[in-house]
Structure 1
Amino acid sequence: MKKSSFQNNIQSFGRFLSGMVMPNIGAFIAWGLITALFIPTGWSPNEDLATLVGPMINYLLPLLIAFSGGRLVAGIRGGVIGAIATMGVIVGSNIPMFIGAMIMGPLGGFLIKKVDSLFADKIKSGFEMLVNNFSAGIVGGILAILAFQVIGPVVLALNEVLRMGVHTFVNHGLLPLAAIFIEPAKILFLNNAINHGVLSPLGIQQSAETGKSIFFMLETNPGPGLGVLLAYWVFAKGMVKQSAPGAVIIHFFGGIHEIYFPYILMKPALLLAVIGGGASGIFTFRLFNVGLVATPSPGSIFAYLAMTPRGNYLGVLAGVIIATLVSFLIASILIKRSVLKGDTMEFESAQSQVRDLKGKDLHIDKTDKKYTVDEINEIIFACDAGMGSSAMGAGKLRKKLRAAGSQIKVINKAIDEIPADAKLVITHHNLTKRAKNQAPQAEHVSIQDFLQTPAYDLLVERFTSDKNKQSRSAEKKSRQQTSLNTEILKKENIKLGLKSVQKTEAIKMAGELLVKSDYVDPDYIDAMLDREKEMSTYIGEGVAIPHGVGSAKKKIKQTGIAILQFPDGIDFDGKTAYLIIAIAGVGNEHLKILANLSEVIEEKNTAEKLRTTSDLNYFYRQFTL
């Protein structure tokens, strides 16, 4: 329990830091490019343009961070007070005051929010603007003086202690050992706290002094994750092998490192691979004495190269390649050993572990207010900065909607940029409250994991089912009027009140019903079992849908389903399934079946009754009418 609370606190802290830094990454990149181009050792030295470097890092960037931090706490008003307060620590120091900005920005927002609450409903009509402006000015002025005289010196002292500690670490050649902490932390805490709270401020300060910093490279190196994904691609089997190439592209070229976390958790020993890769990469960077001019965000190879100063390309590429090779070699040994032992690597189970480490399970937080498909022409995916996770989630949902024939647009935005007229907004559950404040009129869908797909499938089914409700009704009536040989569900293929058995036995029983009704060839049962080994077909609400995919399509003669009811339940890899619905779909007809099933099991009362009822006619009507 304590561990979970600690993890949640770390994650919340990381998300807040990310909310301050990520919206301003463009400004950091602009500063980095100007630095790389125009300083005396840059690509195109220019004494006049180089004068931009100092004011940007000393004033612009800290003020942007402070404004973002204050805005997170108390809106635009909080952002303004946070920026005013931060001027105190900036003027009172001789180093880029990013840590001071991260303190004063949220503090300014918090205090002005408290002051505003004191005057709420106590200001006479006509004096609101006067009181608001003067209260902001007084609070901002006091905080700026406090920051100049007290907070600034304290932050300077702490910064000096931290700087001396880091330099001692670096001078003794121990920096590669940082991978022992950084690589596991990326997977356990999703890296925001370490990256934005520690490494980026250190990197910015070092870059201001030397024109580059290795600290920008410690956590963002794509090599370790790439090596693990390549090892899965080459040596693994089944679904995980098939999914690895796509993950390679998203990770290495898209810069979304979270994509490889489930692959590590499938086999925790692979932490050795990313630690080895990270340490060897850092050692190589140090050997070549290279660094980047700013944070590469997202951490793709393109961002890496864009932030590389002149004369550093060989060392930077060498560090990425060495990290990839070392990680690949270690991961290859571990994965090949697992394959030889016959170990099953459950990709879906690993994704669940990622959700558990984030303190969550997939759910959709439905609201009372819903819009019809005709009223919604755009879906907004929102996260802290409108990049990374939300971009990938938006891409996944967009692809699924297009495949289903829907023309609804899906775009990703930062929380603070959600349009005022948004009808449907999708956010991580920890951000839903902020999203509701930003767009109270919208319907908000809260999801637990941008990488997980069942939520997207439910949304697709909802929109396509609403849009095609009449056509599906006509299809159902047409099926009812056809002969028994072409019915998708026959009453004799519904078996109620069965005694609990092992999962594989239940799948075989359902498959035999499909064979008996001449829906499939006997070999289709083996395909169902193989599919279950690759990934569980449990979909929630006590329902599992075993089916074959890929080459198994050739073994399907006609579309049909069979349903087995086990009132006492069957263990599906830790989940209890009461209904086993075997599916055989010709072409894309299985999508229609899934849409129909989702409507049935979506109703809690109906789903509960289906688990226990002995009324065959009731059961049949729920799936056919």
Structure 2
Amino acid sequence: MASTTSAAPGVGARVRVQQFGTFLSNMVMPNIGAFIAWGLITAMFIEVGWLPRYLGIGDSPDSWVAKFGGWGDFAGGGIVGPMIIFLLPLLIGYTGGRMGYGDNSTRGGVVGAIATMGVIVGTDIPMFMGAMIMGPLGGWSMRKVDSLWDGKIKPGFEMLVNNFAAGIWGMILTILGFVVMSPVVTWIADRLGEGVDILVDNSLLPFTSIIIEPAKVLFLNNALNHGVLTPLGTTEAAESGKSVLFLLEANPAAGAGLLLAYMMFGKGLAKASAPGALLIHFVGGIHEIYFPYVLMKPKLILAMIAGGFTQILVNVLFNSGLRAPAAPGSILAVYAQTPGDSVLGVTLSVLAGAAATFAVAAILLKMDKTEEADDELVGATAHMESLKGKSSSVSSVLTGGAAVMTRPIQRIVFACDAGMGSSAMGASVLRKKIEAAGYSDVTVVNQAIGNLTDEYDVIVCHQDLADRAAQRTPSATLVAVDNFMASPRYDEIVTMVGASRA
């Protein structure tokens, strides 16, 4: 089974960065539906929205559309203002409180939401950053307070003590958030906003692709998008009606150009799987699908930077933006949040970004003289083991041998950073293969790496996430893959299931 050798030097820092990014994104990801709802309501009901501007419905300030949309009184009237000022930060604070307390505790979520209210009323901007601080702090500190008298309360007084403890501690945190934290977070938000303004005013925003594109393929895409860009972009959209920041990471242009290049100039399995990956990426919005194509040939990161730079530049030139986050990063979600005056710019950014990536990737792939061969599998396995910092218990399976299970395989989990896009897709493919082989009693689920528990027989994840997965499930057999959609590892897992029952 799993080896216990120490981690490789340098792995720890990368894993810690991934874990911190995942922590931030996990506060936003469960609430993306609320962000989308706010974006659609804004798009439909504000004064320049779809209903009054294009359909002529409720174009009077006295109409129900105007009252619902809160024309002329963004912070206090209608529903648009209260949703972004109160609902969205409180949802993030509640989710962060549950995470901070541990065990997905509702108690921690309630205290986290109470604490978040302090920074909300202490500022006049959407307080997402404050929610990401006060929410987890509220949950974590409530757990520490509870531990002070854990097991010491006399029978019959548990509810009284617990409720008053949560109420009193929540009140203290709310005051702390209002008096201390809100000025600090407001100052930070102002400085970050000024930084974004400097980048935009000096036409430097496209250069952020030098950071964004490499970070994405290292599985920091959710951290960047939902931990940083979404809070800043939502604040900007609240003021101006749209934000280009929503398009920095979520635009599917560069990934589409890369997969198109593989379709035409790739080799072997990469070329054969590229069309399906393109559909999943561009329409499904699961950007993780193209990461292995870059990791397979790291020099292609130059093509991704070229595409990212181009699409951002076009959006800056045309003053394009989205009303709310496009999640997932599907072209359908992008257009759903695109205001009328940005449709041309967004469309050109997608075309130009894809074309730039395609052109650079095509040159690099044409210049690449290496042949697609079976020994790439051995190389991928070695790369996975270097990332893990230890030999994998299933390396023999990946390189042609056979893994020996000491018990029948019953539970398999497919894990990814957020536990939604790529892991759900991989779990679906693997589930069908296992059911087709006649092992209907084997369960295959998908989950975020941060929520894994050591209760599974086999865990499947991308090779760059293998180290984090191994930490969470030390007794499980780890299978690292480099292609979410058409990995030969899936067939080998089916063989492992059969062998474990022999």
The TM tier, using the shorter chain, reads 0.7 to 0.9
Query: In 2, distance between residues paired with 1:49 and 1:360?
Result: 58
Cα 1:91–1:7, aligned 2, differ >3 Å: closer, same or farther?
same
Helix, strand or coil for the counterpart of 1:104? helix
Query: In 1, distance between residues paired with 2:470 and 2:388?
Result: 16
Query: In 2, distance between residues paired with 1:212 and 1:95?
Result: 15
Tell whether the 8 Å contact from 2:115 to 2:138 is kept in structure 1 after alignment.
yes
Map of 2:110 onto structure 1: 80
* Unaligned segments of structure 1, at least 5 residues: 437-442, 470-625
Cα 1:189–1:413, aligned 2, differ >3 Å: closer, same or farther?
closer
Residue 220 (structure 1) shift? 1.2
Segment of structure 1 superposing worse, 125-134 or 451-460: 451-460
Map of 1:49 onto structure 2: 68
Aligned mate of 1:31, from 38, 48, 54: 38
Q: Is the aligned partner of 1:243 residue 2:273?
A: yes
Residue 424 (structure 1) shift? 7.5
- Matched pairs, number: 453
TM-score normalised to the size of structure 2?
0.81
Helix, strand or coil for the counterpart of 1:44? helix
Residue 176 (structure 1) shift? 0.9
* 1:9 alignment partner AA: R
* Unaligned segments of structure 2, at least 5 residues: 1-7, 53-64, 70-77, 395-402
Query: In 1, distance between residues paired with 2:488 and 2:171?
Result: 51
* 2:351 alignment partner AA: I
Helix, strand or coil for the counterpart of 2:151? coil
Tell whether the 8 Å contact from 1:222 to 1:252 is kept in structure 2 after alignment.
yes
Tell whether the 8 Å contact from 1:31 to 1:57 is kept in structure 2 after alignment.
yes
Helix, strand or coil for the counterpart of 1:282? helix
Tell whether the 8 Å contact from 1:66 to 1:83 is kept in structure 2 after alignment.
yes
Q: Is the aligned partner of 1:396 residue 2:429?
A: yes
Which structure has the greater CA radius of gyration? 1
Tell whether the 8 Å contact from 1:432 to 1:446 is kept in structure 2 after alignment.
yes
Q: Is the aligned partner of 1:129 residue 2:136?
A: no
Cα 1:352–1:264, aligned 2, differ >3 Å: closer, same or farther?
farther
Deviation readout 1:328-377 (Å, 9 max, x if unpaired): 011111111114xx55587644586578568787657x9x996776xx8x
Aligned mate of 1:319, from 339, 346, 349: 349
Query: In 2, distance between residues paired with 1:385 and 1:329?
Result: 31
Tell whether the 8 Å contact from 1:277 to 1:324 is kept in structure 2 after alignment.
yes
Q: Is the aligned partner of 1:10 residue 2:37?
A: no
Tell whether the 8 Å contact from 2:93 to 2:112 is kept in structure 1 after alignment.
yes
Query: In 2, distance between residues paired with 1:176 and 1:372?
Result: 49
Query: In 2, distance between residues paired with 1:281 and 1:304?
Result: 13
Query: In 2, distance between residues paired with 1:250 and 1:352?
Result: 28
Map of 2:55 onto structure 1: none
Segment of structure 1 superposing worse, 149-158 or 303-312: 303-312
TM-score normalised to the size of structure 1?
0.66
Residue 134 (structure 1) shift? 1.0
Query: In 1, distance between residues paired with 2:363 and 2:68?
Result: 52
Map of 2:57 onto structure 1: none
Superposition map of 1:553-568 within 5 A: none
Residue 280 (structure 1) shift? 0.7
Map of 1:19 onto structure 2: 26
Query: In 1, distance between residues paired with 2:213 and 2:233?
Result: 18
Aligned mate of 2:420, from 387, 393, 411: 387
Cα 1:432–1:263, aligned 2, differ >3 Å: closer, same or farther?
closer
Cα 1:382–1:353, aligned 2, differ >3 Å: closer, same or farther?
closer
Tell whether the 8 Å contact from 1:8 to 1:359 is kept in structure 2 after alignment.
no
Map of 2:337 onto structure 1: 307
Deviation readout 1:43-66 (Å, 9 max, x if unpaired): 113212211111111111111111
Tell whether the 8 Å contact from 2:213 to 2:304 is kept in structure 1 after alignment.
yes
Tell whether the 8 Å contact from 2:128 to 2:231 is kept in structure 1 after alignment.
yes
Of all paired residues, the percent bearing the same amino acid is 53
Deviation readout 1:434-486 (Å, 9 max, x if unpaired): 899xxxxxx9776656856566445423544577x5xxxxxxxxxxxxxxxxx
Map of 2:137 onto structure 1: 107
Higher relative contact order (CA 8 A, sep 6+): 2
Map of 1:545 onto structure 2: none
* 1:332 alignment partner AA: A
Cα 1:239–1:447, aligned 2, differ >3 Å: closer, same or farther?
closer
After the TM superposition, list the runs of 4 or more consecutive aligned residues in structure 1 that deviate by more than 3 angstroms.
342-364, 368-373, 379-386, 405-418, 422-436, 443-459, 462-467
* 1:394 alignment partner AA: A
Residue 77 (structure 1) shift? 1.1
Cα 1:360–1:227, aligned 2, differ >3 Å: closer, same or farther?
farther
